[in-house]
Amino acid sequence: QEGGDKSEDELKSLSQAPAMETLGSPENSPEERLPPEGSRLRATAWRVLMNALLFSLLLASSVLLVYAFRNCGPGACQRQVCWDLRALYLASGNSSVDPCTDFFSFVCGKTNRSSDSFQALAEENKSQLRRILEAQGSWRPGSGEEKAFQFYSSCMDTHTIEASGTGPLKQVIEELGGWRISGNWTSLDFNQTLRLLMSQYGHFPFFRAYLEPHEITSHTPVIQIDPPEFDVPLQQEQEQKVDAQIFREYLKYLNQLGNLLGGDPVKVQEHASLSISITSRLFRFRRPLEKQQAQGKVDQMVTIDQLQEMAPAIDWLSCLQATFTPMSLSPSQPLMVHDLEYLKNMSQLVEELVLTHRDFLQSHMILGLVGTLSPALDSKFQNARRELRQKLRELTEQPPMPARPRWMKCVEETGTFFEPTLAALFVQEAFGPRTQSAAMKLFMAIKNALITHLRSLPWMNEETREKAQNKVTQLQVEMGAPEWALKPEPTRQEYNDIQLGPSFLQSFLSCVRALQARTVQSFLQPFPNHRWKVSPWAVSAYYSVPDHVVVFPAGLLQPPFFHPGYPRAVNFGAVGSIMARELSQVFYELLLPEDCPDCSPRALQRELLCLEHHYASFQSPDRSFFNGSRRFLENAADVGALTIALQAYRESLLRHYGETILPSLELSPQQIFFQSYAQVMCSRPSSQDSNHTHSPAPLRVHGPVSSTSMFAQHFSCPRGALLNPASRCQIW
């Protein structure tokens, strides 16, 4: 209570104190209850301020929402490589063409280059090698790097080569015993001359002999014997009139060679004519591949002893031993012979000529050698050979070959002879760890997409599907370069067996001999890994059946096909589809019903027929849609490559945030994917080889893109358009 009384006293005291007037007080009049004028102004200003602030907040929110909506999509890649790629796409594409009816022209319509996309990339890689070889650097005296740079420099020194004239070449001819064309000839034993040509000069006038990995055990070498490569482009079914014109041009060329070497014009004409006769007879000895296949005699394994009995004019053991030193050969050494009947007939011809026209046989071999050595001779010999090739291309209705600059020839020769050194330097320059890591991640994404995709193929039963998935899982990959070239330091290859100078021809021949010995030695050394078939700067990927490994050289993993800074759509569309295509070759045998007994035959046959009809709906420049089972397999691989690469790209979008696009190109990421796929195929129709197993470039684009509904969806193609058919196949 005491507390309550105190509260009442406090309330009384508060009521007696000067009171604060309140608006709701009943004692105040209406006028007294109004706020003063300043208070009303402040209240109005406050309301205006609050409204303005609210409006500003709403406006800012709207701007932020618009900005967010505009930027929630992919941003533009602003790296220089992306701008360069954009420029390439704009330079090659023709945006006036409807992509739904002619996507090839939409992407490649302005391509005026004489080469295709792969050739353009190969030339760019050679330019990269040129920059390396022409860069100023200090190398350890006698090192492989120094010799490679010296060889390239001497190749480019045309003034010294021209000043040497025919002297170095005449010296070579004298070492071989000379020839009657010049009046000085020492009749050496035929097999002695042949042995020198094969082992010291890398020239094989009557047959080719080289080492190859064994078909089954790839780490075991086998000596392969093939018919020779002829300078004249003869065909078995060619018209006699065309043959006569070809031989006329070739005779003119051989006469030029003899005259350049100071021969008597009458003797030159006589010896050149008989040389052509020898070439013609050798060519007729060759049997068409179809005939060999029908007889089951394409490649036959024989021993040196057995071949000696069947083709006795050649001292096989002596010639092969000299060529493949330091291999130790014996009469029981097995050989793989391609076209044994040719070798038998060739031997009879040689025996005949040794008895009746040994001097003409000598001239035939030397004239062939001059052609082989032409890259190392002066401009007169090179011009004569270039004119011959251009004329022969005209006669065989092939497009003319563009003139190649001197530096490109020198880069190629240096790369051939000093590949280990240049490989290491190229990889250091063009295939760093970031590029290697990005390429490997791309491959793994493609590989995983293929394994997943195999589950949805209707023509595979469970047993076949499991085998196929295991095969992909066990597949090995080699990326960029062989292991030795990926080391931090350039390979310390000394090349002690190469002696440069005093003339470029002598340097060239020293490199020929060293390369041959190095090749043989590499086959004799233990080689646990896959032996590469291409240089690291090459642009050709491949699948090795014996080693079950796919190879993607560093030269392929370059702009405009690949770069770590590109939008993922570019890399998946270009190199990703190339990777998927090589993987699809693992299953070539499954696509032929007779080779896949565990497949569902009815479902597979239905899809095969569907694909054939699908491709037949397009007009092909050569009017050939399949051209046998090989072209069919290539068409199926093209479809599979795009399907797998597209699936891998779509899966990458789900796993990774932040896709980009090319700047100022108005293409979505998915459209860029298809654009990059087609860009790889860009080429002029005239560059298509009619005998090539691939379909023409437009068909290689239209066939696959029309096989997926995603293309039509992202380019808004109307139903029934050429590239948006009513139904699609599911071979892949």
> What is the rounded average pLDDT of the residues 387-405?
88
**Residue 301, strand partner residues:** 336
190 in Cβ contact with 351 (< 8 Å): no
> What is the rounded average pLDDT of the residues 585-605?
72
Other residues' Cβ atoms within 10 Å of the Cβ of residue 250: 22
Which pLDDT value is given to residue 623? Answer: 46
3-state secondary structure of 524: helix
Q: Measured between alpha carbons, how far apart are the two ends of the chain, in Å? A: 96
Band of pLDDT at residue 657, cut at 50, 70 and 90 = confident
Which pLDDT value is given to residue 483? Answer: 84
Q: How far is CA 164 from CA 161, 174, 232, 503, 596, in A?
A: 5, 17, 29, 7, 63
Which pLDDT value is given to residue 98? Answer: 96
3-state secondary structure of 336: strand
Q: What gap in Å lies between CA 379 and CA 161, rounded to an integer?
A: 9
Band of pLDDT at residue 601, cut at 50, 70 and 90 = confident
3-state secondary structure of 725: coil
Which pLDDT value is given to residue 382? Answer: 94
Q: What gap in Å lies between CA 46 and CA 50, rounded to an integer?
A: 6
201 in Cβ contact with 326 (< 8 Å): no
Mean pLDDT lowest among 77-86, 271-280, 596-605: 596-605
Residues 223-262: pLDDT tens digits? 999 999 888 876 655 556 677 888 899 999 999 999 999 9
Mean pLDDT lowest among 17-26, 72-81, 209-218: 17-26
Q: What gap in Å lies between CA 591 and CA 637, rounded to an integer?
A: 10
Which pLDDT value is given to residue 400? Answer: 84
What's the CATH fold of domain 157-401? Neutral endopeptidase; domain 2 (1.10.1380)
Tokens of 452: 């997943």
Band of pLDDT at residue 199, cut at 50, 70 and 90 = very high
Which pLDDT value is given to residue 30? Answer: 41
Which pLDDT value is given to residue 60? Answer: 59
Q: What gap in Å lies between CA 579 and CA 640, rounded to an integer?
A: 11
Which pLDDT value is given to residue 52? Answer: 65
Q: How far is CA 409 from CA 24, 155, 212, 403, 498, in A?
A: 105, 9, 26, 11, 20
Which pLDDT value is given to residue 584? Answer: 87
Residue 153 sits at the vertex; the CA angle it makes with 147 and 154, to the nearest 5 degrees, is 90
Q: What gap in Å lies between CA 386 and CA 519, rounded to an integer?
A: 29
Q: Are strands 334-338 and 299-303 parallel, antiparallel or unpaired?
A: antiparallel
Which pLDDT value is given to residue 563? Answer: 98
Which pLDDT value is given to residue 597? Answer: 65
Residues 585-594: pLDDT tens digits? 888 766 665 6
User: What DSSP state is assigned to residue 64?
Assistant: H
Band of pLDDT at residue 68, cut at 50, 70 and 90 = very low
3-state secondary structure of 211: strand
Q: What gap in Å lies between CA 233 and CA 238, rounded to an integer?
A: 10
Q: Are strands 549-553 and 542-544 parallel, antiparallel or unpaired?
A: antiparallel
Q: What gap in Å lies between CA 102 and CA 619, rounded to an integer?
A: 11
Residues 302-355: pLDDT tens digits? 999 999 999 999 999 999 999 999 899 999 999 999 999 999 999 999 999 999
Confidence check: pLDDT of 562 > 60: yes
Amino acid letter for position 274: L
Across 10-24, 319-333, 492-506, the highest mean pLDDT is recorded for 319-333
Confidence check: pLDDT of 135 > 70: yes
Q: Which of 478, 634, 638, 659 is catalytic?
A: 638
Give 542-561 as a DSSP string. Answer: EEETTTTEEEEETTTSSTTT
Examine the residue annotation and report whether 32 is marked as an active-site residue of this protein: no
Confidence check: pLDDT of 570 > 80: yes
Band of pLDDT at residue 3, cut at 50, 70 and 90 = very low
Q: How many residues are given for the chain?
A: 732
Backbone angles phi, psi at 226, to 5 degrees: -125, 160
Q: Are strands 184-185 and 178-179 parallel, antiparallel or unpaired?
A: antiparallel
Q: Which of 582, 607, 634, 659 is catalytic?
A: 582
Query: Residue 340: enclosing H or E segment and its boundaries?
Result: helix 340-356
Confidence check: pLDDT of 112 > 80: no
User: What DSSP state is assigned to residue 494?
Assistant: -
3-state secondary structure of 303: strand
Backbone angles phi, psi at 549, to 5 degrees: -140, 140
Q: What gap in Å lies between CA 205 and CA 83, rounded to an integer?
A: 51
Which pLDDT value is given to residue 156? Answer: 97
Confidence check: pLDDT of 687 > 60: no
Confidence check: pLDDT of 508 > 90: yes
Which pLDDT value is given to residue 96? Answer: 92
Mean per-residue pLDDT of the chain: 85
Q: How far is CA 168 from CA 231, 442, 499, in A?
A: 23, 52, 15
Q: Which long-range contacts (CB under 8 A, 24 or more apart) does 686-689 make?
A: 686/399, 687/114, 687/115, 687/116, 687/399, 688/621, 688/622
Query: Residue 75: enclosing H or E segment and its boundaries?
Result: strand 75-76
Tokens of 19: 């009171």
692 in Cβ contact with 398 (< 8 Å): no
> What is the rounded average pLDDT of the residues 600-620?
82
Parse the chain into domains and list their residue ranges.
Answer: 157-401
**CA gyration radius for the chain?**
37
Q: What gap in Å lies between CA 314 and CA 592, rounded to an integer?
A: 43
> What is the rounded average pLDDT of the residues 629-642?
85
Nearest CA to 642 out of 587, 557, 583 is that of 583
Query: Residue 224: enclosing H or E segment and its boundaries?
Result: strand 221-226
Q: What gap in Å lies between CA 409 and CA 420, rounded to an integer?
A: 18
Which pLDDT value is given to residue 336? Answer: 94
Tokens of 698: 């437009």
Confidence check: pLDDT of 63 > 50: no
Examine the residue annotation and report whether 264 is marked as an active-site residue of this protein: no
Q: What gap in Å lies between CA 219 and CA 526, rounded to an integer?
A: 8
Residues 513-547: pLDDT tens digits? 999 999 998 888 876 678 899 999 999 999 988 88
Nearest CA to 645 out of 713, 696, 571 is that of 571
For the entire predicted model, the pTM comes to 0.83
Mean pLDDT lowest among 61-70, 289-298, 526-535, 675-684: 61-70
